[in-house]
Amino acid sequence: MSSPLLNETQAARLSPIPGKPGFLSYLGTITYYIHVALATIVVGLWGVTKLGQGRRGVHRVATVWIGYMLRAARWHMGVAVEIRGTPPAANEGALIGAKHQSFLDILAIAYAARRRAFVMKREVLRVPIMGWYARRAGCIPIDRSKGRDAMGQIIATVRERMASDEGLGHLILYPEGTRTRPGEKRPYKHGISTLHIETGLPVWPVAVNCGMFWPKRGLPVLSGRAVIEFLEPMQAEPGESRDAFLQRIRDVVEETSEKLMTEAGLQIGH
């Protein structure tokens, strides 16, 4: 089965400009959410049989589930995602620092980075079924009540995973800390630059324009071709501070995201 992420040739068949909101876009979005809710139950039950296979089995289930949700987005709402650039290799440990605008970029990045894991609230990992999958996939809990000590725990966990037979995989982080609207910019948090300097893991910046099609609140989703772009991996220079490295990450992610949003019709600064 072909990938639900579009290559350049496939992407050319879809408009880079979001469709207009209307009755059909609302109807398609609502039926999509109902469809994927039912599909999630089916895939989740099937996936229980793969939990005994460790992270490999869990990632297989996640790939099937995410791929289905991306395909269903095109069936119901006419929106698909073009992937540009090259994600980290399957056998490579990496930090992925991405612009975050909507649920769509979560799906697309997680599909492209097949050994995906996230830093998640500790409470989420305690949720039945979802939490089980997240833990088995290598997601790392964060206890925000511990303040700065929480980062120390994350660094320790990342180092432990790096030293394990399975390795870390692809740890996805959102430096802005939350979803942003198209054209909106927020300060970047130091987590990704601190993790890089403490572990030496390369950082793969990712630019997106998904919020132009799939809004922050999720309704309505508009038809067209969204884009995620994996940029060249980055390393801190010898002696470079975490602030300076973080600024370089921010510059390249924001600049490229602006270009992608301009392609989709956003007038930056207007």
100, 112, 228, 235 from 107: Cα distances, Å: 11, 9, 11, 26
269 pLDDT more than 70: no
Residue of higher predicted confidence among 28 and 152: 28
Amino acid 89: pLDDT: 93
The mean-pLDDT minimum among 39-43, 99-103, 117-121 falls in 117-121
Q: What is the largest CA-CA distance in the chain?
A: 56
Mean pLDDT of 13-23: 94
User: What angle do the packed helices 54-77 and 103-112 form, to 10 degrees?
Assistant: 130
Amino acid 145: pLDDT: 67
Mean pLDDT of 5-34: 93
Q: What is the pLDDT of residues 153-195, one digit of tens each?
A: 889 989 998 998 888 899 999 999 889 999 998 999 999 999 9
Give the span between the Cα atoms of 173 and 96, in whole angstroms.
6
Q: What is the pLDDT of residues 215-263, one digit of tens each?
A: 988 889 999 999 999 999 999 999 999 999 999 999 999 999 999 999 9
Q: What is the pLDDT of residues 62-74, one digit of tens each?
A: 899 999 999 999 9
